[in-house]
Amino acid sequence: MMFLGAFLGFKTSLDPTPVAAGTTEYFEIENGIFDEVYLDSDIQREHSTVIPDWGYSTILDAKFKGNILAGNVDFTLSSISSMLLKRRKKGTYKWTTIHQIPISSEDDFDFYFNDISVASQTTYEYAAVPIINGVEGTYQIIGVDVAFDGAFIIDPTYGYQIILNFKRENLTRGIPSNVLEPVNSYYPIVNYYSKKRYDSVTLSGTFIELDRNTCNFDTIHSWRYRKMLRDFLSNQRSKIVKLYDGQIWMACVVDPISESYNGHPENVITTINIVEIGDVENNRDLYYHGFANFLEVHI
């Protein structure tokens, strides 16, 4: 039998143990009763047996009050006024703010946002950014791959997908200009009276409701679905129009919406014309056209 007379016999036996910064990936505690576990990255902190409050260098603080939570919700609530969601295409530098979530309670950190202004065949990075005393905090970043079939036309109220008979029939680039022909000149003078450059696009396809559970199309009542579509297209709200191959426009529907039979009364082609009105990567355009709820202020 061995007796360890000095085992935990000193007043400093249970003091915090310094470890080399950057070398610890995880830790375990077991075979004991623990009141609290506190980890901090500030190795210059003055030695004390009193566990400090959560600070900017705190890694975790588990108090074991009926759970094993070790986060900083209480500290965060006292300092964070809101969270910003930002987006950028992977490999690019500039972030675009797409949404703001006010933070006033713990439940506000449990949020969901559906970003409708993204292109297919594209990898994006999203960042959740806390606003602390009016200043942006640390970016928490994840990557998302986007891909879909056919085409979508969407606004903040609703959206429709075109899968059957989809065509992008015409695209023209608008360049506001006029041509002057001087009397004594062989060649005309082109006057560009605006910096505007925008696309006009004609799209067509069969809009028909699909039962996602059975993968069957409701052909009998498709006229009702198209009536809802026409109401949606003519609501005079800005739209996001995006195609399966990555083309995307912020646009408005213009000109009459037309329908024509494609060989059968239940196979109807709807044709629409859209005009580009903004940039889906520009926060100001997203905000003024209703696709973002936060306007960045640039000084």
Q: Report the SS3 class of residue 73.
A: helix
Contacts of 141 (CB under 8 A, 6+ apart): 125, 126, 127
Contacts of 166 (CB under 8 A, 6+ apart): 150, 151, 203, 204, 205
Contacts of 209 (CB under 8 A, 6+ apart): 217, 218, 221, 222, 225
**What per-residue confidence (pLDDT) applies to 136?**
84
Instruction: List residues bridging with 67 in a β-sheet.
Output: none
**What per-residue confidence (pLDDT) applies to 255?**
92
78 against 128, higher pLDDT: 128
Confidence of residue 281 (pLDDT cuts 50, 70, 90): very high
> What are the chain's domains?
16-71 (no CATH), 80-146 (2.60.40.10), 151-288 (2.40.30)
Confidence of residue 214 (pLDDT cuts 50, 70, 90): confident
**Cα–Cα distance, 140 to 195 (Å, whole number):** 37
**What per-residue confidence (pLDDT) applies to 95?**
94
On the question of pLDDT at 291 being above 70, the answer is yes
**What per-residue confidence (pLDDT) applies to 94?**
92
Average pLDDT, the chain: 85
181 against 106, higher pLDDT: 181
Q: What is the DSSP letter of 98?
A: E
**What per-residue confidence (pLDDT) applies to 284?**
95
**What per-residue confidence (pLDDT) applies to 257?**
95
* Tens digit of each residue's pLDDT (9 = 90 or more) over 15-57: 666 666 566 677 787 887 888 888 887 777 777 778 887 777 7
**What per-residue confidence (pLDDT) applies to 3?**
47
Question: What is the pLDDT averaged over residues 138-149?
Answer: 92
* Tens digit of each residue's pLDDT (9 = 90 or more) over 221-271: 889 999 999 999 999 999 999 999 999 999 999 999 999 988 888 889 999
On the question of pLDDT at 1 being above 50, the answer is no
Helix residue spans in 36-178 (DSSP H): 73-79
* Tens digit of each residue's pLDDT (9 = 90 or more) over 116-137: 999 999 999 999 988 887 788 8
Helix (H) or strand (E) holding 132: strand 122-132
Q: What is the largest CA-CA distance in the chain?
A: 118
